[in-house]
Every structure is written in C-alpha cells, then in structure tokens.
C-alpha cells in the first residue's frame, strides 16, 4: 500500500503570501511537495466557489493565505477572506467534510520559513485525517 500523500490547493495572495512562498523556495527551505499553488491578486478574491470546486475535484485540503491584518494591499481584502473562510468552515462541517481541511493563514513576504513550517504542519494534520471523503474511491 502506498503512503497517503495529501493534495493541498493553496490560494496565495500576490503581494504577501506568494512572495513568502517564493522566499521559501529561494532560501531552499525543505517542505513537503503537497501544495499546488494558485496565485491570486488578493485573498479577498478567493470566491467560496473556488474552495468548494477544489474540494469537489478531490483536494484533501485548501489553504487560503493573505497579508497580515492591517497589511492588505487592498486594505480590507484579507478581512473579507477571513469571514468567508470561517463561514465556509461551518458549511463544510454540515456537508460532512472536516472543517480542519480548510485553513486560513497570514503569511508576509518575509516569512518564507513560516510558509514552509505551515505546509509541513498542514500536511501532517491532513495525513492524520486521511483522504478527502469526496475523493473518488475514498
């Protein structure tokens, strides 16, 4: 039996979190290859549809990452993302999907090490949860 490798879809904001992920790469910090990054202009751009579609298509986890509170390039996009994610977690629970599979994090452009640590931590957490109940074949 092969070991379960979680598949995580990451929506990273252009101004902070994507740059943070970039820094992790440039700094050659090791982290698990479980995340598939999608760059968005702002975490506030992440429509709940994106997250639901990701789960529908078999993602084991979804990470939404944006600028720290007060740092949003568009002033309040990250706050909107936070409210959306909290609301979606409640919905996911009602739909029988563990809310821990959805995560919101603040990652600045200088936090490459933090990005790597978060991916490591999230991967382990989802590994424990097992494959998404929506994944074809269980």
Binding-site ranges for other proteins (CB under 8 A): 47-49, 52-53, 55-56, 69, 76, 79-80, 82-84, 86-88, 90-91, 94-97, 133-134, 138
Nearest to 103 by CA among 6, 4, 7, 9: 9
Which residue, 24 or 54, is less far from other proteins as judged by CB? Answer: 54
Least Å distance between CB 80 and other proteins?
5
Least Å distance between CB 28 and other proteins?
36
Strand arrangement of the beta sheet that strand 102-106 belongs to: 35-40, 8-13, 61-66, 102-106
Residue pointed to by tokens 């979606």: 88
Which residue, 1 or 49, is less far from other proteins as judged by CB? Answer: 49
Least Å distance between CB 48 and other proteins?
4
Nearest to 93 by CA among 55, 46, 36, 43: 55
Q: Which two tokens stand for residue 28?
A: 């050659």
Which residue, 21 or 88, is less far from other proteins as judged by CB? Answer: 88
Least Å distance between CB 65 and other proteins?
17
Per DSSP (E only), the strands in 1-138 are 8-13, 35-40, 61-66, 102-106
């Amino acid at each position: 039996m092969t070991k379960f490798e979680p598949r995580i879809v990451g929506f990273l904001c252009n101004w902070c979190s994507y740059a943070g992920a970039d820094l992790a790469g440039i700094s050659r910090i090791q982290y698990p290859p479980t995340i598939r990054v999608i760059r968005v202009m702002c975490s506030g751009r992440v429509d709940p549809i994106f997250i639901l579609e990701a789960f529908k298509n078999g993602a084991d986890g979804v990470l939404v990452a944006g600028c720290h509170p007060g740092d949003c390039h568009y002033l309040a996009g990250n706050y909107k993302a936070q409210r959306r994610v909290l609301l979606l977690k409640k919905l996911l629970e009602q739909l029988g999907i563990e809310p821990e599979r959805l995560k919101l994090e603040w990652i600045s452009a200088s936090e490459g090490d933090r990005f790597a640590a978060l991916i490591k931590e999230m991967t382990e957490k989802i590994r424990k949860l097992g494959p998404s109940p929506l994944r074809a074949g269980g």
